Structure 1
Amino acid sequence: MSVPADTSPAKGPVIAVVGPSGVGKDSLMSGLAVADPRLRSMRRVITRAPEAGGEDYQPVSEAEFQALVEADVFALHWNAHGLRYGIPRDIEKLREGATGVLVNLSRAVLLQAQEVFDDFRVISVTARPEVLAARLAGRGREDAAEVERRLARASLALPEGLRQVHEVDNSGALSAAIVEAQAIIQAERA
């Protein structure tokens, strides 16, 4: 008796894009998704007001978020900066036939994510301190004290024990960072 061949589409890796506020994670993710239509992005669910702007996310209230946790909707969820964040289990559907699925994660949840997802990689986006300061000031979402707090956290190291980490410098032109990240993703697929 022969076993039928597995004809399910290959699953792409979950690619966490991490880095300090203002480093350009969302811009990099958008640019990568445009460059490769099979590279998908996962929207986070966040207890942030819809008018807060910034990234593309699904805003929910604290009560709605808790109901989603209790309904086991999330593959991964965590608290950071006074907000709650969740990655829906739908991420597994996005992985089917994809080059990969990009997701903006907090450093504190990376080891947990590595255990949750069977094929997990990290792209750590960096930028020079003066570039971060200018970007944070320019976006106008944080007051001066919050900008200082975010800059102080910018140099925090990634947790020990991550298996696949690649660094991309986004201090200069976004297009250069996109090319660098594309090369990393393609090399991993080879």
Structure 2
Amino acid sequence: MIGKIFLIVGNSGSGKDSLIRELIVHPSVCTVKRYITRPKHDSEDFISVSENVFKKLLDQNVFFLNWTSYGFNYGVPREAVALAEKGFIVLINVSRQVVNKVKKVNVIEIKASEKIVKERIISRKREDEKGLLERLVRVSEMQNFSGADFVVDNSKNLDCAVKALKTIIFSKK
């Protein structure tokens, strides 16, 4: 049985990780931890690595996808492909800049109003002042992404967005 890979994209603060956490409780849905060259923070579940370790992993071809955003390197391990080949639905939080690097995946954009996204970014207290400003500016710039196969609105309550996302991932299997 072949599963599916869904690339989840959206602005910082749109709720990508929150939605993924809600869906991976289903036995056929999973995610993989990304490697990021950023200090660990409670608001996100990832593997924090140094620049040197990241480069070694890149040289060892560990990553299925990788990119740089906000001055940090991100890598998605090849384990994602192996899980899909085993029949799982794999949800991966990625940058919009990498969606064209992969074929045979579906792209789901998570949207929320600019006001809500800005409130979420500020309230999680993860970024320093410079990082916060970069993310807030990008919210305005990235409102019109056209590379998604599906769009889920996460401006209201999380349950509505979870239901919409479930409909997409289970109907596309």
Counterpart for residue 180 of structure 1:
164
1:104 aligns with 2:88: no
**Structure 1 ranges of 4+ moved more than 6 A:** none
Instruction: Please say which structure displays the higher CA radius of gyration.
Output: 1
Aligned residue among 19, 27, 38 for 2:18: 27
Alpha-carbon deviation of 1:23?
Answer: 0.8
RMSD, matched Cα? 1.7
State the match for 2:127 in structure 1.
142
Q: Is the 8 A contact 2:154 2:161 kept in 1?
A: yes
Pairs within 5 Å for 1:1-190 = 10-34=1-25, 36-50=26-40, 52-112=41-101, 114-115=102-103, 119-143=104-128, 146-155=131-140, 156=142, 157-158=144-145, 162=147, 165-189=149-173
* 1:27-75 deviation digits (Å, cap 9, x = unpaired): 00011112x221111110111123x332211111110011111111112
Structure 2 segments unaligned to the other structure (5+ residues): none
Q: TM-score, normalised by structure 2?
A: 0.90
The aligned length equals 171
TM-score, normalised by the number of residues in structure 1: 0.83
Write the distance in 2 (CA, Å) between the matches of 1:72 and 1:143.
31
